[in-house]
């Protein structure tokens, strides 16, 4: 079987990467979204399967068991992508922050790193506030976005600005299509 294409979608909170990834998965039955583990508390209204929500001890045990493809600490919580266990023949999408993305690029240099940017800081703030994070988290994430965007510009294979949702999704679909064509 051919190796799966690994698409990493990264970008600051409120860039809209979750919605983009959802659309990619919905529109392309050959894509599989990796479900991350986190020690973060589930947000109000957040779906139960947004993450595997675990206690820190369980997460740390999984690190010790070498169960993660990558993991990191982000604003005080642990996040990690479990190693995909079955080879389903589907291409893999990871929605993760940049430190994790770098780890995946190290172990899988052929992985495609897409960095999604919000159209503006104002729009990003509006989106972050809209999902019910406490205000100090919003401020923290907006501050972090400055560094992430600087690093993203250097590390990413492609930077996609999410000012027009359909165009942004189509752009990423195009990148995946090109990678598939190249693999054949």
Q: Return residues touching ligand 5GP (CB under 6 A).
A: 13, 36, 40, 70, 72, 74, 79-81, 95-97, 99-100
Q: Is the dihedral of CA 166, 124, 12, 50 positive or negative?
A: negative
Give per-residue burial for 17-52: e unless 16+ CB within 10 Å, then b: bbebbebbeeebeebbbbebbbbbeeeeeeeeeebe
Q: Position of tokens 């389903």?
A: 88
Q: Please give the Cα distance from 118 to 11 (Å, whole number).
A: 8
The nearest distance, CB 143 to ligand 5GP, in angstroms, is 14
Residue 29 or 47: the one with the smaller Cβ distance to ligand 5GP is: 47
Residue 5 or 94: the one with the smaller Cβ distance to ligand 5GP is: 94
Tokens of 77: 């919580």
The nearest distance, CB 17 to ligand 5GP, in angstroms, is 7
Tokens of 183: 């693999």
The nearest distance, CB 154 to ligand 5GP, in angstroms, is 17
The nearest distance, CB 79 to ligand 5GP, in angstroms, is 4
What are the φ and ψ backbone dihedral angles of 32, each rounded to 5 degrees? -125, 130
The nearest distance, CB 36 to ligand 5GP, in angstroms, is 3
The tally of CA atoms less than 13 A away on the side-chain side of residue 177 is: 9
Q: Please give the Cα distance from 10 to 101 (Å, whole number).
A: 7
Residue 33 or 170: the one with the smaller Cβ distance to ligand 5GP is: 33
Residue 16 or 100: the one with the smaller Cβ distance to ligand 5GP is: 100
Residue 36 or 124: the one with the smaller Cβ distance to ligand 5GP is: 36
């Amino acid at each position: 079987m051919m190796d799966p294409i690994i698409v990493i979608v990264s970008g600051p909170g409120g860039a809209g990467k979750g919605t983009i990834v959802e659309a990619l998965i919905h529109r392309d039955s050959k894509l599989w979204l990796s479900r991350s583990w986190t020690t973060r508390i589930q947000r109000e209204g957040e779906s139960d399967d947004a993450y595997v929500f675990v206690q820190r001890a369980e997460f740390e045990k999984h690190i010790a068991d070498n169960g993660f493809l990558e993991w990191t600490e982000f604003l005080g919580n642990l996040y990690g992508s479990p190693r995909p266990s079955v080879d389903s023949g589907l291409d893999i999408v990871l929605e993760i922050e940049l430190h994790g993305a770098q780890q995946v690029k190290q172990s899988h240099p052929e992985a495609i790193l897409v960095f999604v940017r919000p159209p503006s800081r104002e729009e990003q703030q509006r989106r972050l506030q809209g999902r019910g994070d406490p205000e100090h988290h919003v401020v923290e994430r907006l501050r972090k976005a400055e560094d992430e965007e600087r690093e993203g510009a250097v590390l990413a294979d492609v930077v996609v600005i999410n000012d027009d949702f359909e165009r942004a999704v189509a752009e990423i679909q195009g990148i995946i299509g090109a990678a598939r064509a190249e693999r054949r």
